[in-house]
Amino acid sequence: AQFVHLIRDGHDVVASHRDRWGYRSALRVARTEWVRFVNAGRKFGAALPVGRYHELRYEELVEAPEEAMRSLLAFLEEPWDEKVLRFDEADHDATERYMRFTAERRRAAGETSAIYRSRIGAGRGTLDPVLRGLLRASARPLLRELGYA
């Protein structure tokens, strides 16, 4: 088996939890969950044989989707297909609530593409001092190691 670990800036993860599931959820993610889950995935990946674990950054996937997807498909030993860049044209099992939520978020940001960049860095500008402080207290070394500090 092969494993793909998608990692996103903790600031943005906390902001997304706050916006989608409320402040209490964001507190939990900032205090413990982001660092715990990212570290668990990386520890698991480090124990695997070479070629079984692939780290992919959310930011790379959004900012350079073709490059990120080519790298991912090469890792998976799957052929390249341009359709992966047009995923929004395919039927999905996403809930109506999720589809409305993302459509509203895209509209608010003035984005029309299914891949929208406005969420990258969103947490840095919108986290209050409590959430920002909790995240940095629990995750500063990991944020720094991953280039998110």
- Three-class SS of 76-90: CCCCCCHHHHHHHHC
Question: What domains can be seen in the chain, in order of their start residue?
Answer: 3-145 (3.40.50.300)
Q: Which amino acid is at 61?
A: L
| pLDDT value, residue 5 | 99
For the chain, the average pLDDT equals 93
Alpha helices in the chain (DSSP H): 10-21, 23-28, 34-46, 58-63, 65-75, 96-109, 122-126, 129-145
Q: Whole-prediction pTM value? A: 0.87
Tokens representing 84? Answer: 């992966």
- Which residues is 146 bridged to in the sheet? none
CA–CA dist 16, 4 (Å, integer): 21
- Confirm if 89 and 82 have CB atoms less than 8 A apart: no
| pLDDT value, residue 17 | 96
Q: At what angle do helices 34-46 and 129-145 cross, to 10 degrees?
A: 10
CA–CA dist 20, 62 (Å, integer): 20
Grade residue 47 by pLDDT with cuts at 50, 70 and 90: very high
pLDDT in tens, 83-117: 999 888 888 788 888 788 888 878 888 887 778 78
Least confident of 21-25, 56-60, 78-82, 84-88: 84-88
Residue listed under structure tokens 């494993």: 3
